[in-house]
């Protein structure tokens, strides 16, 4: 005969209402942020072949994206710029008329405080070599020279109206430098989201298509080694000490153990980025009939929440929010 404790556990799974009542982890629209690619020089959405259902957007289409996101009740959008021209120092990143800064201004006006406007603060989309910083004579990334540009980029994004700056370049000292620059420019209200535990991952491949990356080589000298978990926690704690308002683990799915460690120890909110490769794996597998798409989406997101993420950047943000608002179960 089945023992009492085993029967008790089964009883709590008996109906959808019971399962919902005792669920340890939940997911709501406010927990989701939508990454958006805004490309200079196009007049219609351009589908990204490696990311089914995701497109580069023209600037004049951005208000409609913001409106849909706000109506779905999600927490924010994260903007990425795809410029028409690039150079060795990423000049477009600090230009007030650069595509990303223009997109921030358009999104902020359209949002009108209904959701947060977030912006990627990194040079990789703007440099002709595709690295996250400027290069030294020997071809390595010059950390300190890059920080000087990040400071100017931060002020430009704040001037444009960003609520949160996503520092994704993994330069040492970037949080402290950006915080000082923002405060000195009168932008103390602007929050810093530090991509604190950002791993050198194969799962970024489709994203590089989305931003038309020119990278040759890799970023292993400044992004984290996938073999190291403690290092991710250390990076997150350093960024929090430097003044980050939020820290993030990226990618999410392959690094749930790191996410759990950071969530347990962090003094500030912890987010996770469900990256392009995670998204595309599910979409392509579902298209091949190998998995139940809707359940797989829900399971991955609930798993990220269960590991400790308070907010998730995901390309499914609006779709999932709409499903949740319709009362649909994700799992």
Is 220 an active-site residue? no
Q: Which of 129, 179, 198, 261 is catalytic?
A: 198
Q: Which of 250, 261, 305, 323 is catalytic?
A: 250
Residues in contact with 95: Cβ distance below 8 Å, sequence separation at least 6, in sequence order: 101, 156
| Assigned token pair, 45 | 């959405």
Strand partners, 247: 194, 270
Name the strand (E) or helix (H) holding 167: strand 164-167
Q: Are strands 55-57 and 46-47 parallel, antiparallel or unpaired?
A: antiparallel
Name the strand (E) or helix (H) holding 311: strand 311-313
Is 262 an active-site residue? no
CA distance 253 to 233: 16
CA distance 318 to 311: 14
| Assigned token pair, 246 | 């939020």
List the catalytic residues.
Answer: 198, 250
């Amino acid at each position: 005969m089945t023992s009492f404790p085993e029967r008790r556990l089964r009883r709590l799974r008996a109906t959808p209402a019971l399962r919902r009542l005792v669920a340890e982890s939940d997911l709501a629209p406010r927990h989701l942020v939508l990454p958006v690619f805004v490309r200079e020089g196009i007049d219609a959405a351009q589908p990204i072949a490696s990311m089914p259902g995701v497109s580069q957007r023209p600037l004049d289409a951005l208000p409609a994206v913001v409106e849909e996101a706000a109506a779905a009740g999600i927490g924010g959008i994260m903007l990425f710029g795809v410029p028409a021209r690039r150079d060795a120092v990423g000049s477009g990143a600090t230009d007030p008329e650069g595509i990303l800064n223009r997109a921030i201004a358009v999104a902020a006006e359209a949002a009108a405080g209904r959701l947060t406007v977030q912006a990627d603060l990194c040079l990789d989309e703007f440099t002709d070599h595709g690295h996250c910083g400027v290069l030294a004579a020997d071809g390595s990334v010059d950390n300190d020279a890059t920080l000087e540009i990040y400071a100017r980029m931060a002020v430009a994004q704040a001037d444009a109206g960003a609520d949160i700056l996503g520092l994704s370049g993994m330069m040492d000292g970037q949080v402290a430098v950006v915080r000082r620059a923002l405060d000195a420019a009168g932008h103390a209200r602007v929050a810093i989201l530090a991509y604190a535990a950002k791993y050198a991952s194969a799962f970024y491949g489709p994203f590089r298509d989305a931003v038309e990356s020119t990278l040759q080589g890799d970023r292993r000298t400044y992004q984290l080694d996938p073999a190291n978990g403690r290092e991710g926690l250390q990076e997150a704690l350093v960024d929090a000490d430097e003044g980050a308002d939020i820290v993030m683990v990226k990618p999410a799915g392959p690094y749930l153990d790191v996410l759990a460690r950071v969530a347990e120890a962090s003094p500030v909110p912890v987010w996770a980025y469900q990256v392009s490769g995670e998204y595309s794996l599910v979409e392509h597998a579902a298209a091949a009939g190998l998995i139940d798409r809707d359940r797989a989406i829900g399971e991955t997101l609930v798993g990220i929440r269960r590991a400790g993420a308070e907010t998730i950047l995901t390309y499914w943000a609006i779709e999932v929010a709409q499903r949740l608002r319709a009362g649909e179960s994700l799992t």
